[in-house]
Amino acid sequence: MKKKAITISIINNKGGVGKTMTVQNLSAALAEREEMVCMIDLDSQHNLTNRCENLSREEEELRICKYEGCAIEDYLANPEIPIRPLMVKKNLFLIPSTIRLAELSASLYGMNINERPSDKLKDLCNDIQNKFGFIIIDSEPGMSALMANAAKAADIIIIPINCQDALSGAGEGVFGIMDNNNLDTPHYFLQTMFENRLKSSRDIRSKLTEEAYENRFYTIIKRNEHLNIAGNLGLDIFEHAPKSGGASDFKDLAAEILSIIKRGHKK
Ligand SMILES: Nc1ncnc2c1ncn2[C@@H]1O[C@H](COP(=O)(O)OP(=O)(O)OP(=O)(O)O)[C@@H](O)[C@H]1O
Ligand SMILES: [Mg+2]
């Protein structure tokens, strides 16, 4: 029997911490290693979809037409639709989202974060689990019901921490959701946008090493302008600057995750 995909949700209620950056480039790094990867854009801002396609913000109408019937909101609203992830490049696929996800999320899950998450996203992942080695979910900021569903669907949770910002918070909202729903999912902190010259970066690194040694990735994603530029061009870092520090960091992260899984990631 074919192995079941590992579902990784990248979540943090805090915005701008590098969730989408991590989903795009971790997925590309795993695809470079011949893993079959499906990314899911579970954010109505659809930054991940933008980063994979290079349509401008003004082309929202075009985007809605382009993805009609194959966006995450369509599948969640109607589980009968056969799921057709779109090919981004070799080994790498995307289930996109559009602004319509915002309209639908209220009716799909209710507005109340304290409601129990539905099983719809988890079921969707189960439907495609035999086709992929990894399913990697991007989530929106804020204490949204979508984030709770991403947490519920995950085998592994990654919580990016923005090292530019000492007050970035350590994903407290994520732990609130895990506690409320009795989720005991293995979770790891990922330091992003790290700059050694910044006190905030050094402080966060020390704090995580002292207080979350087992739950932090050894790999640190450093601030690297190529990562920024690649995303704006609709490319991943391996397409844009394969020899950059950003590419090297995401290669290391992919290797670390594969080794965690090999050791048996379940706690
Ligand atoms: N390592 C990095 N080096 C340089 N720029 C980065 C890096 N990581 C993220 N960025 C930039 O920081 C900004 C925020 O990153 P990103 O969009 O991935 O965060 P996010 O957590 O997904 O945000 P949101 O909560 O709005 O979805 C983006 O402009 C991105 O290009
Ligand atoms: Mg994002």
What is the per-residue pLDDT for 267? 41
Site to probe by mutation for ligand 1, drawn from 21, 26, 249 as the one with most ligand atoms within 8 Å of Cβ, is: 21
Residue 2 C-alpha to ligand 2 middle, in angstroms? Answer: 31
Q: Could you state, in order of their start, the residue ranges of all structural domains in the chain?
A: 6-262
Instruction: Quote the CA–CA distance of 130 and 181 in Å, as a whole number.
Output: 27
Q: Is the CB of 142 under 6 A from ligand 1?
A: no
> Which atom of ligand 1 is least distant from the CA of 224?
3
Token duo for residue 92: 């790498």
Token duo for residue 140: 């929106």
Site to probe by mutation for ligand 1, drawn from 219, 228, 253 as the one with most ligand atoms within 8 Å of Cβ, is: 228
Domain boundaries 6-262, corresponding CATH code: 3.40.50.300
Residue 196: in which H helix or E strand, if any?
Answer: none
Site to probe by mutation for ligand 1, drawn from 9, 10, 14, 20 as the one with most ligand atoms within 8 Å of Cβ, is: 20
Q: Is the CB of 245 under 6 A from ligand 1?
A: no
> Which atom of ligand 1 is least distant from the CA of 246?
1
Specify whether the CB–CB gap between 187 and 157 falls below 8 A. Answer: yes
Residue 100's identity, in one-letter code, is R
Residue 150's identity, in one-letter code, is A
Kind of pairing between the strands at 86-89 and 92-95? antiparallel
pLDDT (tens digit per residue) in 161-206: 999 987 666 666 777 777 777 778 999 999 999 999 999 999 889 9
pLDDT (tens digit per residue) in 194-246: 999 999 999 889 988 888 778 889 999 999 999 999 988 889 999 999 999 99
What is the per-residue pLDDT for 13? 85
